[in-house]
Structure 1
């Protein structure tokens, strides 16, 4: 579960999770944030 708390993303992974699953989770979040930043910079919302 991921939830937005203002300027913070709270990540609540399951108690039982492998290192490779954590890597996939972080990579997915990074990709989504990079995509959102790129889209916003194209329309002039992010400096």
Structure 2
């Protein structure tokens, strides 16, 4: 029983960590896309 609780706690901890790193990755990709679009727009405006 105790091992089961321990396992659930570990799963919850790693799940939260994975969610956090996944969220960071998603935010990074979104920021990269926004910066790329802005840069492309600037290039078009300069021309």
TM-score by length of 1: 0.56
Greater relative contact order (Cα < 8 A, sep 6+): 1
Q: State the Cα distance separating 1:39 from its structure 2 match.
A: 0.3
The structure whose residues are more often helix, as a share, is: 2
1:28 is matched with 16
Match of 1:37 among 17, 25, 28: 25
Larger-Rg structure: 2
CA root-mean-square deviation: 2.0
Where does structure 1 differ by over 6 angstroms across 4 or more consecutive aligned residues? Answer: none
Gaps of 5+ in 1: 1-16
Count of residues paired in the alignment:
29
Q: For each residue in 1:1-47, what CA deviation from the matched residue of structure 2 results, as whole angstroms up to 9, or x when unmatched? A: xxxxxxxxxxxxxxxx70000000000000000000000100118xx
